[in-house]
Amino acid sequence: MRAVLVTGGAGFIGSGLVHHLIAHTDAVVTVLDKLTGAGNRDSLTGVPDERLRFVRGDVCDVAVVDELVAGQDVVVHCAAESHNDAALRDPRPFVDTNIVGTAVVLEACRRHDVRLHHVSTDEVFGDLALDDPTRFTEASPYRPSSPYAASKASADHLVRAWVRSFGLRATLSSCSNTYGPRQHVEKLIPRQVTNILDGRRPRLYGSGAHVRDWIHVEDHSAAVLRIIEAGRIGETYLVGADGEHSNREVLAMVLQLMGQSADAFDHVRDRPGHDVRYAIDATRLRHELGWRPQHTDLEAGLSETITWYREHEAWWRPHKATVEQEYEREGR
Ligand code: NAD
Ligand code: TYD
């Protein structure tokens, strides 16, 4: 694998993957990123110039995508509109980028016969009840509940259709909630950490009983690389690290790690249609490809993540006020 294109490589997962590819392969990485509010060129700081080509552009732009895909060994498609709250404000960009953009990437990979890995989410399966003893597997039915999840589910269906109808060499991964450095301050953990750093009280949606299955971004990246190396074409691999916690529990850890009292937060309006619980059974990935998560201590991972936000205020500061103004308008 000499040449890899990462779409959305200035975003949270994409930049984590680029850093991982630089550290663990010899590949030269091309990043195509539109730098929407969620993307940040500084997330690629530290990647040596000779290993990185950065192109600002849109995955929906057929000419740009076609030119960049030609000559690659692998394309990893991470570019997406990714935030549920943003999709509830305006779903249209989710349809454009996540569905149409994926179709553009698929067509370019088909034209140039390039191997594709499509980065998806466990949210395509909808949610589970809190007392449901089961977890999502590769056989779980698609039941997306939010506009974001529905757009990602649509993209997954396109990828599978291109594999079956055109023989495209593609794999998919559906990963659970990912945390770590370089995640936008609109998402749960960075929002609360930066709120506390700013002297604001964290905001918990509804009761806070909702459960997410947390995985560190380095483990997510390692899983994607393993699937690129050894995954079976046409297959989906669920990625998760047995990290189920309620939002209340995660916030309690953040408060404690940052020296705040346990009740120093506010309950705010719940998210409409809020998925209750996600949980991943990653048996296929573990058994078939030998992947194992390294960051299994959530508290230790959160502590390192908090340190990163403390030390990188210049990275998040420009976005914080705008994000909070939008939440403020919605009573969150
Ligand atoms: P992100 O919002 O941090 O990053 C998305 C990146 O895509 C940004 O850099 C943005 O500028 C870029 N982008 C958006 N629209 C574009 C367009 N039209 N053309 C080119 N670039 C565009 O999101 P993320 O959390 O890094 O998510 C990336 C992928 O990983 C998504 O497909 C998401 O579904 C998936 N995923 C995320 C998580 C998570 O917890 N964050 C979990 C599982 C799967
Ligand atoms: P988020 O990070 O937006 O990820 P996702 O919607 O993909 O799960 O939210 C994670 C959980 O945290 C979700 O249940 C919503 C909740 N949440 C809050 O309680 N407060 C907040 O300020 C945010 C942004 C999210």
pLDDT for the residue 249: 98
Question: What does the alpha-carbon distance between residue 316 and residue 310 come to, in Å, rounded to a whole number?
Answer: 10
Give Cβ neighbours of residue 150 (< 8 Å, ≥ 6 apart). 144
Report the percent of the chain where pLDDT is more than 90: 100
pLDDT for the residue 313: 98
Phi and psi at 160, nearest 5°, equal -65, -35
Give, in degrees to the nearest 5, the angle at Cα 205 between 200 and 208: 105
Q: How far is the CA of 98 from the centre of ligand 2 (A)?
A: 20
pTM reported for the whole predicted model:
0.98
**CB distance 212 to ligand 2 below 6 Å:** yes
In this model, does residue 257 exceed pLDDT 90? yes
pLDDT for the residue 294: 98
Ligand 2 atom nearest 146 alpha carbon = 6
pLDDT for the residue 1: 86
Give the mean pLDDT of the chain. Answer: 98
Give Cβ neighbours of residue 295 (< 8 Å, ≥ 6 apart). 215, 216, 218, 219, 241, 301
Q: Where are the domains of the chain?
A: 3-179+214-239
Amino acid of residue 176: S
Report pLDDT digits (tens) over 59-69: 999 999 999 99
Report pLDDT digits (tens) over 152-205: 999 999 999 999 999 999 999 999 999 999 999 999 999 999 999 999 999 999
Task: Tell the residue number behind the tokens 């997330």, with chain if given.
Answer: 43
Q: How far is the CA of 97 from the centre of ligand 1 (A)?
A: 10
Question: What does the alpha-carbon distance between residue 269 and residue 63 come to, in Å, rounded to a whole number?
Answer: 43
Report pLDDT digits (tens) over 308-319: 999 999 999 999
Report pLDDT digits (tens) over 134-157: 999 999 999 999 999 999 999 999
Report pLDDT digits (tens) over 112-137: 999 999 999 999 999 999 999 999 99
DSSP letter at 195 equals: H
**CB distance 220 to ligand 2 below 6 Å:** no
Q: What mean pLDDT is predicted for residues 276-291? A: 98
**CB distance 203 to ligand 2 below 6 Å:** yes
Q: Closest residue (by CA) to atom 6 of ligand 2?
A: 84
In this model, does residue 271 exceed pLDDT 90? yes
In this model, does residue 20 exceed pLDDT 90? yes
Is residue 194 within 8 Å of residue 255, measured between CB atoms? no
Q: How far is the CA of 168 from the centre of ligand 2 (A)?
A: 35
Class of domain 3-179+214-239: alpha beta
Ligand 2 atom nearest 251 alpha carbon = 19
pLDDT for the residue 99: 99
